Structures are given as structure tokens and as C-alpha cells.
Structure 1
């Protein structure tokens, strides 16, 4: 497909006025405008370069006679990385993006075999027969072939709606899927790529792969389990280095316990209960040493800070023994099989949440959210609804303050880490819950149109997003000038989570 430099030329033209500008002397608005221009140039240039990278890769097949070998490089990735000044991994992403912009190869359609007796001889006098202007070999067919539609990834990349790295992630996710599933997944991921950063998009792609091929997920889980290890090295400077890699089931209780120690230490520091200037890393190191000391002498006390490992699993999945389990401390999911092994080792039975014995909406009777409400919010929001930090780092906050009449209900609650809670309120952002989804509405000085932005775990969940064709808004709730930080939704429509351990 022919390269278009129109977007690149437009972006470069807009950058001419930046020549000689000192970013340090710019106002906030001017700085962001200049950054947007530079980002547009970089994105447009990558799209152009991706087309060349793809062609270099195509011409580099064939061993010693490939283009990269001819130029003295071991592979197309090495050649592109060296010439463009990027890593081989980035070169691979550029190649995959460029390949995504190529039109699909036409599938030949032989059609029914013609009956020789019914096939007339071509007449040289008939302009519609033979090799004349109206035949299938003319230039019109070449033009039609050049205009073949691209895949959704290719169209979005070529239009500048997503970047090469996002396109590469989506392409890798689709590998091995059947055509019908790949088409649906591709459309969903392209819509998500409009509004997600690369880490969140990678999580969304991971969710799609896990949902598509459960057998492969189980095999990968077993492989990770076998690969777990912990190394202890005494360094020359007298320090000791611990280096480990753990599968999710092994790491979950470790991470949950360490997170609890860090949160407790920071909370007590804020409450002025103790003068503790340790970093989070130092708190973890001391907590691990306390735990080991406790193991050496069980009569001694550890920090005294306990925690509960919480996972979220659909009750029906638990009953049939197949499915995936969300955890509050890791982005990696577990299989039901691993969960059952953990339960057997720990001797714990899961409790069903949201039943008649556990009230999840307390109205005005209680000011603080209960433990069970926080678990339900963690299921809905996946952690901090704004930045994605683990639930263990977050607190449940009233969207409409309790002092202003806000209810202690799930529809008026949101999980936020302390940093995001302070920043959102200080900068004028509004929070809205609609149909079990959290939306953040920017102030006019950030976005004059005030398009709501989807937050919480819905950003990366598999399945169709609750969005239209727009980059961010789609079916987002409308902005009401009379609803200042108010709640314009009922409680989540899906059932409350199960799985308290």
C-alpha cells in the first residue's frame, strides 16, 4: 500500500513556530500544546517508518540471500534497530505494525466449473471479452486491489488513532485465534486502544488470551509454577541480595502480607502514631526479617499486622471447577484448579458475598464502608479506580461526601489510593457511577468538552466495552451542570462478588 505523509507534513508544519522555544519558559497551556505537536510528529513518523520496516522484514526472508543478511545484519530486527536507533523489541513492534497496514491477500474464488459446451468462444469484436479494457487483467482491477480495505488495526494505525506499539500488542494477541473470534477480539481491542495506555492495553490483551484459550492458560500456569525459585547471594560489600521469581499462587500470600505491613506503617505515620521514616522497600525488608525470626522462634511476635487474602471468583465457575480467578494483590489471574489447591493447603472454605446475611448498602445508618462493601468495591473497581494500584493500597471513599448527605452505598462508593483521592478532589474532577462502572469527568480546564473517562477494572476487562465508536465517551453518562460530584446511577447490575478467604 502506498505511503501517505499527509499527517506527518501537517504535524511538522505545526511545529515550525516552536523553533527556538524554551520549554522552561512556557506557560502550562503552551507547554502542553507544544508537547501535543511533538507527540503528533513522533506518532506520524512511526507510522511512516513502520511501512518501511515491514517491507524490509518481508525482503529479509530466505536466509543468506535476504535483505538484512545482504546488508550485514543477522535479522531484520537488528537492521531496523541499528538504523533507527531502537531496540530489537521496538523494531519487532514496528514490523508488526507495518504488516498490519498491508491489505489482506485476496482469497481466490474458483466458483463452479463451467460447462465447456455452454462457454462461448471469445469474440475479438466484443469489447467485454478477451484481454481488452473490460477484462479482468486491466488496470482497473489493479486499482481495486490497491484499495482493498485494511483490518481494524491497520485502519486505526494508518489514521493515527493508535500507535505502533498498541497495534503490535493487538496483532500478537490475535495469533492462533480462529477467524471469527479474532475479528470480534480485534474490534474490541482497537476500541480499547483509543483510550488506554500501553500497560492497561497489555492487561486487556492478556485478558482476551486467557478467555480464549483456557488450556493454554493452565499449561502456562504449570510452567510458571515449575519455574519458581529464590536465590540468595552474599555481595562483596557485605550486603545480601535475594532474587526470586514466583508463580501467582505462590506470590499471592507473600505480596498480600507485605502490602499490609507497608500500608499499616504509612497509615500510622500519617496518624502520627510513630516517627517512622522508612521507605516502602525498607518496611518490606524488616517485615520479612520479622517473619523469619518468628519462624525460628514461634513464641516471639511478628509485626502484629494481619491481612486476609481476597480473591474474586464467580460462584458458577467455582461449582463447575473451571474458570479464572481475580486477586486483589496481583494483576495475574489464577485458575480454579490453583485456587482449590490453595484452599486445601490453607483449610479455608470460601464464603459467598452479597447474600441476605451481608448488607452491602447501609444508606445513612453507617458512615464508614464495611469490610464486605470494600471487597465488593474491589471486585468492581479492581483497585484504585483511577491509577489501578492494588486494592490493598486503597480506601473506600464516598463520592458525595457523607457530611453532605451521601449514602454509604456501593453506588456512592469508589476505591481510591490516597494520592489519587487527594489529587482528584484538589483538581476539580468529578466521579460518576453508572451501571456498575466508574467514570471520571475532567474539569473544563483539562477538557472543555468534559468527556467522561472510564475508570476501574472495566478499562481492561475482556468482552465488549461499554463504549461507542468515540475514543473515550461512547455510552458514557452525560455531564450534568447540577450534579457536582453526585451519583447518577443505581447499584451495580451484576451480582456481588464471591470468594472471601
Structure 2
């Protein structure tokens, strides 16, 4: 493969068009354009670096022993050599090399399936005639195209590469279709949402792995307590989902309660000008206080001191319950769990299993009821997954009327949306519109942000793939 800086030069040229701008007085829209241009420069630089580093890694084959490029220069591995050049971690270097290996054309012998001995498969035949190698398509060609075009960052591509390799082990006949839908979706997602999407997709293909992972995580759970040098106490925990679920639910519910109180106080201030003492604790501080309060309660109190009322909700399909094979999800936690773990949690703790059938039953209590019922709220969580905009966990969210209740908006699924306090204010006061289309939530930006007002999908559909078949 011939090395080229053409795409890198093109992106640099776009960034150069901003040369001489006074950033302090540059309009916000132009600054956003400049940021996008620089992001593309970075991505195309990483692509070029990956090509070169990948070739150096190929020439550092362990079979070459001390004759490999990395060993000759005093490095134990290509990753170590690249990390030294970057001045970064070896983990970062390994991500670049993993993507380079998955997206570079493979060396194939003439006559191999899909490769023409004359070099028509995308590369030139070697000069040695018969027996020379040719270039075949990359192992993950759709991913390679997205990386080479700058549509995906190197870090996102590395996460996708690892997931595709694991899925390919159990579903080699489906990997082409899986790769296509994952890459198509990932190009419009943040790294965190990509990880969430991949967790669910891997779990669907490898449910037995999820069951084994649950078992190992439970056996390896721990809480470490350490006296720090500054007089504080460090508490670090690593828990399986079933152990963590009640703790996570409690702590996130405490944050929601504080955020709701802040909002209510702000509204009262605006109406009657009263002076309230602000609760300015950070989420981390709220977590600490809620955990301490729960511990004090367990030492002899008879009432929960936090006042937090939340429910642990587990969700799965009826087929998974009947067959015992499949996965479930826990509201507020990204990692899926096995059906076996769901059954144990449903027996051992006060949780609410939500069993979903093939068809959803419409829920409608009429607009005469201002507050959403528990059933509708649970249905909103099933549809939206949490905050429909920023994807904060359900415990941070409230059900809001899209068309305000006071203006005749109904209290039903089609007029409800889950939003955290911050996103609720940003969307309604920022001129955004919300449109419910079937089981999907769409956000329509104001013309000041997007003159075309192109709808943007929200809710779980923003980061979930279409159901596998």
C-alpha cells in the first residue's frame, strides 16, 4: 500500500483557512467550524501514523527474534517502540496498532479466495512472478473505510475492533452484516455511547460469556479501605452488577433528589424572591453523604434517613425468561447481565422485573391526570433508556410533558419524555422541539443552531443497533 498524505493535506488546508483569525472575537459558529477542522487534522494524522506504525510492527515479527525492527532498536515490542515515540502509554500505542492491523490490506497468496494472482484485488503483484503475495481487502473493510475517511476516531475504532473480533469468534457468518451496522451507527455517536452499544451487541451474540462474566465478577468483588496520608479515608470498590445495583440506585437517586430540590428552589426564588440556602454539593459529595447516611441507618436506625425512594428495575425479553438463554439490563448500569443473574436478583432483593413481549400495550391515563403513573414512567424508561438527550441514568430523570399539561397536553406515552433536570431546561428554554415517532424520540434544533432544523434521534435508539435477527 502506497503511503499518501493527500487527505491529511486536505484537512490541513481547511484549518489553514482560519489563519490570522482573532479567536477572542471570532463568532461561535466559526469557532465550531475550526474545531471540527482540527479534529479532522488529528484523525488523519493518526491514520497516517497507524499506517507507518503498522508496517513497522509487521517488520517486528517475533519470529524474526533480534532481527526485527523493534528489537534492533532496543524495544521489547512494536507497541513499546511506538509508545516511546509518542511519549505516551503503551496502551495508547496498542490501540493504534490494533486498528492498523484490522484496517490494513492483508498479505495473501495468489489463488486465495477473493484474490487475483494478477493483483486485481486492490494491490500490485510482487515482482517475483508466481508465488508472490498480493494485497487483499482489510479484515474489517467497512471499519477501515470509516477510519481512513476520518469518520471515526482511532480510539473509537479500537473499541469497535476488539468487539468485532470477539463477535466473529462465535458468529463468523454474521460478522459482515454486524460490522456494517455497527460502523454506520458509531459514526454519529460519542465514545461512551459506542461502548454502550457494543456491550449490548456483544451480549446478544455471546450470552454464555455474560453469564460467566457475572460469575467471575461476583467472585472477584471487593471493597478496599485505606487510610490516606492527608488524613482522609480512601474507599475503592469493584463490584458485580447484582451487588452494585442497590448501591448505584441509592446514590443516583440521592443526586436526583438534590437536583430536583435545586430546581424547585430556583422556581420559588423567581416567583416570590425568597432567599434559600443553596445545596451546592457536587454529585460525588452527594454520593458520599448518601452512602454514609445509609450506613448509619444499618447500624440501628429504623427509618431510611436519605428520603430517597427508588426502584431497581430489571428488563429482559419473555423469550430469554422462558429459555434461560439471553441477557437483561439494569436501569442505570451499562453492562448487561445474564438471565440467571436477573432471577437471583429478583429473588434476593426488592426489585421490579420488566418482562417485555413482542408487542407493546399502549398506556394512556388521559390528560386529566397531571402526573405520570408508575406504569407510564416504566414504559418511558423502556423507550428512552434514561435522559433522552444526554443519556443520564433513569434515576436522574423525570417524566416531562412534551406539550405542556396546562396547554392540554396528555399524560401518556406519546406526550411524555424522560429528561434530566439540566437537559429539560436546555431543551425547552433553548427553542428545541420534541417529536415522538412510534417508539423513537426525535429532537428538532432551533434555526439558530441548524437552519434546516434537521431532526436528531434521541433515547435508546440514539446508541442502540437494530435488533439482530
TM-score (norm 2): 0.85
Equivalent position to 1:213, from 206, 217, 235: 206
**Offset, 1:90:** 2.1
Task: Judge conservation of contact 1:100–1:167 (CA < 8 Å) in 2.
Answer: no
The 3 A distance-change label for structure 1 pair 353 and 64 is closer
**Offset, 1:201:** 0.8
The 3 A distance-change label for structure 1 pair 202 and 284 is closer
**Residue 459 (structure 1) aligns with:** 462
**Residue 235 (structure 2) aligns with:** 242
Note the aligned Cα RMSD (angstroms): 2.8
Task: Verify: 1:387 aligned to 2:390, yes or no.
Answer: yes
**Offset, 1:440:** 1.8
**Residue 78 (structure 1) aligns with:** 80
Secondary structure of the equivalent of 1:180?
coil
- Equivalent residue runs for 1:251-262 within 5 Å: 251-262=244-255
Task: Verify: 1:154 aligned to 2:157, yes or no.
Answer: no
Task: Judge conservation of contact 1:353–1:372 (CA < 8 Å) in 2.
Answer: no
**Residue 3 (structure 2) aligns with:** 3
**Offset, 1:373:** 0.7
**Residue 193 (structure 2) aligns with:** 200
The 3 A distance-change label for structure 1 pair 197 and 110 is closer
Aligned residues: 439
Secondary structure of the equivalent of 1:384?
coil
Most deviating of 33-42 and 374-383: 33-42
**Residue 34 (structure 2) aligns with:** 34
Secondary structure of the equivalent of 1:18?
coil
Equivalent position to 2:446, from 443, 446, 452: 443
The 3 A distance-change label for structure 1 pair 231 and 449 is same
Most deviating of 371-380 and 77-86: 77-86
Task: Judge conservation of contact 1:395–1:417 (CA < 8 Å) in 2.
Answer: yes
- Equivalent residue runs for 1:329-348 within 5 Å: 329-346=332-349
Structure with max Cα Rg: 1
Rounded to whole Å, the distance in 2 between the matches of 1:302 and 1:295 is 10
The 3 A distance-change label for structure 1 pair 47 and 379 is same
Secondary structure of the equivalent of 1:416?
strand
Most deviating of 300-309 and 310-319: 300-309
Rounded to whole Å, the distance in 2 between the matches of 1:209 and 1:253 is 25
**Offset, 1:261:** 2.2
Equivalent position to 2:368, from 365, 373, 382: 365
Rounded to whole Å, the distance in 2 between the matches of 1:458 and 1:159 is 25
Task: Judge conservation of contact 2:214–2:240 (CA < 8 Å) in 1.
Answer: yes
* 1:370-429 deviation digits (Å, cap 9, x = unpaired): 121111111111100111100010011122222333222211211111111111122222
Rounded to whole Å, the distance in 2 between the matches of 1:303 and 1:72 is 59
Rounded to whole Å, the distance in 2 between the matches of 1:424 and 1:349 is 31
Rounded to whole Å, the distance in 2 between the matches of 1:137 and 1:305 is 69
Rounded to whole Å, the distance in 1 between the matches of 2:145 and 2:18 is 30
Task: Judge conservation of contact 2:402–2:415 (CA < 8 Å) in 1.
Answer: yes
**Offset, 1:230:** 0.8
Task: Judge conservation of contact 1:383–1:415 (CA < 8 Å) in 2.
Answer: yes
Most deviating of 382-391 and 52-61: 52-61
* 1:120-141 deviation digits (Å, cap 9, x = unpaired): xxxxxxxxxxxxxxxx876778
The higher relative CO (CA closer than 8 Å, separation ≥ 6) is in: 1
Equivalent position to 1:167, from 129, 138, 157: 157
Task: Judge conservation of contact 2:431–2:446 (CA < 8 Å) in 1.
Answer: yes
Secondary structure of the equivalent of 1:449?
coil
Task: Judge conservation of contact 2:317–2:356 (CA < 8 Å) in 1.
Answer: no
Rounded to whole Å, the distance in 1 between the matches of 2:467 and 2:318 is 22
Task: Verify: 1:427 aligned to 2:417, yes or no.
Answer: no
Listed as ranges, the gaps of 5+ residues in structure 1 are: 112-135, 466-501
Most deviating of 223-232 and 92-101: 92-101
Rounded to whole Å, the distance in 2 between the matches of 1:335 and 1:457 is 20
Task: Judge conservation of contact 1:377–1:413 (CA < 8 Å) in 2.
Answer: yes
Secondary structure of the equivalent of 2:436?
strand
